[in-house]
Amino acid sequence: MHISEGILSPGILLAGALVSAGGIGIGLKRMSERDVPAAALMTAFFFVGSLVHIPIGPASGHLVLNGLLGLVLGWKAWPAIFVALVLQAVLFQFGGITTLGVNTCIIALPGVVFGLAANHLITRLSQRLKLIAAGSAAALSVLSSALLAAMVLYMTGEGFEAPARLLILSHIPIAVVEGIVTAFICSFILKVKPEIFSRQAAMVVIIVIPLLTLAPFSAYAHRVNIFALIKGEYLQGEGYFSSGRKCAGCRVVLYDSKGRKIGETETDENGMFRFKCPGTEEKIRLVLDAGTGHRAETEVDLKIGEEKGGPRPVAHAAYPGIRQGKDAHSLEEILDRKLEPLYRELKELRKDQEKTTFKDVASGLGYIFGLMGLALYGFGRRK
Amino acid sequence: MTCELFAEGDSLIHKLDPRPKVAGAILFSVFLIFVHHLPALCAALAGSVILAALAKLDKRLLLKRLFIINLFIVFVCVFLPWSVAGPPVSLPLLPNPSTKGLKMAVLLFLKSNSMVLFNIGLLSTSSIFAINHAMAHMKFPPKLINLFFFSWRYLHVLEEEFHKMRRAALARGFVSRSSLLTYRVYANILGGLFVRSMDRGERVYRAMICRGFNGSFPLLSHFHFHRRDIGAALAFGTFLIILAGMEWLVKNH
């Protein structure tokens, strides 16, 4: 889960550093002198936990324990995790200095959010449900950490999709085991020393959780779409955001079937672009890049005219084999047949668009509520 | 646990004041983020190698450490030649990598390695307590420094305790395999460790109160800049300026 040094772009590193500085600040403010030794021991516990290798099928993985730390420490888990990561960076060079902020965010943010939620539940539920809450909070923390790490890699630029995907996939079994182990740990603690789960005043998480679950939808709502079809010897298309805004001045790159770049252009102010059809290729791929992580691509099959890949791409054929004036009737027939998927696709597209606007509104509301909640929570605590 | 692998030694680097070492490591890493061209990165790597040589680090341990770190770096880099689009290049063994992707992968590899090597040379040659001490002098928040201090102080205690409990389980015939029982046993060990560390935290706090702890450790010894520290800082500064110059020259040609 540690992202190594030298990979991420400066913007992301700075954002990560700022967010974790905020988290650490809040955590330190919540931490009284009295809490420091206990929090330090939790830091050491977190560190030792990450050295424990647990067999998972044929392989083995180490525990992350960010959910448990969030559950017990609440906001104070931010500085604890930060210190543990500093130690790991200096001792083992896992992670690094410049990535400290981003890595702290990746591990602490989900841990604190889900941990606080579980903390809220654990003081209220029956014994069995308590364990389920703790276990699922731990599993979700690990999974969200992996998602965050993947997102950070993905946002850093072209070419990191594969490791990002692998990162998420490899953390699914780890998350399951982490959930099971954490549930058992909590069952042990509840038997031995239940007062450890002191209330962390977690009102706010009831608001933050939906916020986090809405975040992916909001990413979806801002998705760019690309639409391309063949007109004569030109390949014409349009780039637009799901909100309907035109994607002006975006880079569009044309690749051949082997992934080689064969052309590049920019969209005009209406989001339109135009290429001359490459004669020799059978299949081409268009990639539209609208800046930080907003990418859309479509594949156009010049020979058959059927769309491949995602639901959005609309393709349609140049008509190989039919020369001008040879057989008008069959041409028309083919045209109808070829246009059919286009119409269908258009309809689906419009439906899809309406859906995203709804999600857009929902996630926007979620954010507003979440931020309001955070602010209120902060003020409430200070008094 | 042998954590501070490189902290002991009596080379020039080991003798340097930890404050400029911490500052230098941060400065170098942040500086390298903005370097994107081959010549400057090669020079940076060369500088890191020289630093490691000056620190007289154990070569076997160092290579072993670098190998482990490079597993992570390669994991990220290895897909780049194929996932970044660009004009292809024909190389033996590699099927159709793109030049742009290949270049990116090489740059990333160089950058990560020189950062790691430099940080081993500069930071890992100080003990954690020295770094903590330096942080205290560099006016980090006192709670953070205490947290850091106590964490490091009790890390080994906890680790030993963990191994003790694990040994006890092994002595009773526990075999680690992927089964619910294994997870339960590990959870009980960790739960025990957890409860004990909570209790220990409380005890430590009370013991500190008894000794009149008021939230910060008085600093007995203070660092002094020696001539060698100034020399090292000057050398480091010129090195950074040379790197910046190289990067600037390449960028504008």
Chain A hits for B150, CB-CB cut-off 8 Å, are 36-37, 40-41, 43
Asked if B180 lies within 8 A of A94 by C-beta distance, the reply is no
Q: Is residue B5 part of a domain?
A: no
On whether residue B114 sits in a domain, the answer given is: yes
| Domain-embedded: residue A237 | yes
Would you say the pTM of this structure is higher than 0.80? no
Cα distance between residue A339 and residue A332, in whole Å: 10
Mean pLDDT of A287-306: 66
Same domain, A235 and A184: no
Same domain, B246 and B188: no
Higher pLDDT, A364 or A332: A332
B24 and B106 fall within a common domain: yes
DSSP secondary structure code for residue A296 in this structure: E
Structural domain includes residue A209: no
The reply to whether B217 falls in a domain is no
Tally of domains in chain A: 2
Q: Are residues A175 and A286 in the same domain?
A: no
Q: Is residue B188 part of a domain?
A: yes
Interatomic CA distance for residues B162 and B159, integer angstroms: 5
Which of B82, B108, B190 is the closest to A185 by Cβ?
B190
Same domain, B32 and B67: yes
Domain match, A260 and A339 both:
yes
Greatest distance between any 2 Cα atoms in chain B? 72
Structural domain for A230, as ranges: 224-358
Tell whether B76 and B99 lie within a shared domain. yes
Tell me, yes or no, whether B119 and B165 share the same domain.
no
A329 or B69, higher pLDDT: B69
The answer on A230 and A196 residing in a single domain is: no
Residue A250 lies in a domain: yes
Confidence of residue A201 (pLDDT cuts 50, 70, 90): low
Residue of A nearest to B117 (CA): A93
ipTM above 0.95, yes or no: no
Name the minimum distance, in Å, from the CA of A82 to any CA of chain B: 9
Provide the CATH number for the domain around residue A321.
2.60.40.10
Chain A: closest CA distance from residue B234 (Å): 22
Residue A111 contacts residue A117 (beta carbons within 8 Å): no
Q: Identify the CATH number of the domain in which residue A24 sits.
A: 1.10.1760.20
B53 found inside a domain: yes
Q: Do B159 and B189 reside in the same domain of the chain?
A: yes
> What is chain B's Cα-based Rg?
23
Looking at the fold, whether A348 and A289 belong to one and the same domain comes out as yes
A87 assigned to some structural domain? yes
What are the pLDDT tens digits along chain B (253 aa)? 557 778 788 888 888 888 889 999 999 999 998 888 899 999 999 999 999 999 888 889 899 989 988 888 888 888 887 777 667 776 666 677 778 888 888 898 999 999 999 999 888 888 888 888 888 888 888 899 999 999 998 999 999 999 999 999 999 999 888 888 989 999 999 999 999 988 888 898 899 889 988 877 887 777 888 888 888 999 999 999 999 999 899 888 7
Question: How many angstroms separate the CA of residue A86 from the nearest CA in chain B?
Answer: 9
Continuous segment of H or E residues that includes residue A251? strand A251-256
Same domain, A177 and A29: yes
* Cβ contacts of B251 within 8 Å, gap of 6 or more: B37
Is residue B6 one of the residues assigned to a domain? no
Same domain, B95 and B194: no
Task: Give domain status of residue A375, yes or no.
Answer: no
Does residue A368 lie within any of the structural domains? no
A290 domain-assigned:
yes
Q: Do A179 and A290 fall into the same domain?
A: no
Rounded to 5°, the CA angle A66-A67-A69 comes to 65
Which domain covers residue B63, as residue numbers?
12-131+224-251
Confidence at residue B147, expressed as pLDDT on a 0 to 100 scale: 93
The pLDDT score that the predictor gives to residue A311 is 41
- Residues B232 and B107 both lie in one domain: yes
Are both B145 and B71 inside the same structural domain? no
Closest partner residue to A48 (CB to CB) among B150, B155, B202 is: B155
**Which of A37, A163, A185 minimises the CB distance to B191?**
A185
Let me know whether A184 and A228 are in one domain.
Answer: no
Give yes or no: residues A246 and A189 share one domain. no
| Domain identity same for A96 and A22 | yes
Residues A161 and A107 in one domain: yes
pLDDT of residue A56: 82
Same-domain pairing of A192 and A291: no
| Residues B99 and B187 grouped into a single domain | no
Examine residue B216 and state whether it is found in any structural domain, yes or no: no
With CA atoms as reference, the chain B residue closest to A73 would be B198
Question: How many domains are contained in chain B?
Answer: 2
The string of DSSP codes covering A69-134 is: HHHHHGGGHHHHHHHHHHHHHHHH-SS-STTHHHHHHHHHHHHHHHHHHHHHHHTTS-HHHHHHHH
Structure tokens at A265: 């252009």
B60 and B121 share one domain: yes
Examine residue B60 and state whether it is found in any structural domain, yes or no: yes
What integer pLDDT is reported at residue A313 of this predicted model? Answer: 39
